[in-house]
């Protein structure tokens, strides 16, 4: 395979929500522990998140003072920082919204991990210069509404040696990977709750990809009843 193997590993409600009120229930919290353990057992080289998740976790780039970088001349091309990292966090951030900082990069969830952010060609030069100052690698994914995801994931393998990706994006990021036919396996825990709100669903509109792709067929390879009436389902893409 010329690209990494990609597993979409998610926890959702019965009605397909991946955030919202159903996380307030004890049964969901218990299943979340199983979900986290399964994620570790996949032993992926990288985890992919969307910008919404990471802005909620680390803050918005609007709070950053980029004035000292405003006169920097930065070419709109990939920036690669090679450290000693053996695993990575990959951020799909077309508009440069995540407020990375030296303090954020010390977060325990990023310990011993490299950060790779995927941005569009419309992101400002001062934000790119700022990322370079933090040694945060970035890949230019193309236009914000037309990412070339297939080229991006190939670069992740060729440049960083990433062989397996665990996709834990929001609905838009997951939907974009699905639309590009890049999800090889779906690992899904379903909590016994109907969310009933307007929260994000497992696969939303693939907003970073213009082309309409035909539905992708999968085969059920495993089903298991979990604690608290949860269900685990595993699917592999049909060849």
Q: Where are the domains of the chain?
A: 1-45+163-239, 58-162
- Smallest Cα–Cα separation from 208: which of 80, 94, 55, 82? 94
Burial class (CB in 10 A: 0-12, 13-18, 19+), 24: exposed
Name the residue with tokens 């979990």: 226
Domain 58-162 of CATH type 3.30.920 = no
* Distance between start and end Cα atoms, the chain: 13
Can you list the residues of the chain whose pLDDT is less than 70?
Answer: 206, 209-214
The reply to whether 58-162 shares the fold of 1-45+163-239 is no
Burial status of residue 211 (CB atoms within 10 A of its CB: 0-12, 13-18, 19 or more): exposed
Position 84 scores a pLDDT of: 77
Predicted TM-score of the model (pTM):
0.93
Q: Domain 1-45+163-239 classified CATH 3.40.430.10?
A: yes
Q: What is the CA 167 to chain-centroid distance, rounded?
A: 5
Contact criterion met (CB below 8 Å) for 98 and 124 = no
Q: What is the pLDDT of residue 140?
A: 96
């Amino acid at each position: 395979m010329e690209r990494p193997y990609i597993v979409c590993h998610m926890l959702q409600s019965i009605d397909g929500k991946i955030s919202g009120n159903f996380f307030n229930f004890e049964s969901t919290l218990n299943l979340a522990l199983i979900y986290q353990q399964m994620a570790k057992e996949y032993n992926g080289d990288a985890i992919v998140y969307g910008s919404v998740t990471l802005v909620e976790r680390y803050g918005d780039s609007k709070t950053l003072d980029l004035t000292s970088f405003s006169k920097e001349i930065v070419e709109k091309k990939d920036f690669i920082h090679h450290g000693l990292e053996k695993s990575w966090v990959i951020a799909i951030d077309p508009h440069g919204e995540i407020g990375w900082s030296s303090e954020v990069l010390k977060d325990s969830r990023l310990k011993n991990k490299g950060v790779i952010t995927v941005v569009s060609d419309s992101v400002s030069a001062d934000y790119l210069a700022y990322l370079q100052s933090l040694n945060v690698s970035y890949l230019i994914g193309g236009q914000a509404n037309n990412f070339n995801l297939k080229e991006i994931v190939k670069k992740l393998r060729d440049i960083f040696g990433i062989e397996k990706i665990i996709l834990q994006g929001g609905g838009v990021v997951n939907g974009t990977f699905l639309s590009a036919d890049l999800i090889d396996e779906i690992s899904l825990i379903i909590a016994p709750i109907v969310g009933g709100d307007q929260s994000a669903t497992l696969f939303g509109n693939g907003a970073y990809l213009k082309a309409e792709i035909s539905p992708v067929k999968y085969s059920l390879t495993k089903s298991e009843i979990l604690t608290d009436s949860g269900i685990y389902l595993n699917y592999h893409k049909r060849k």
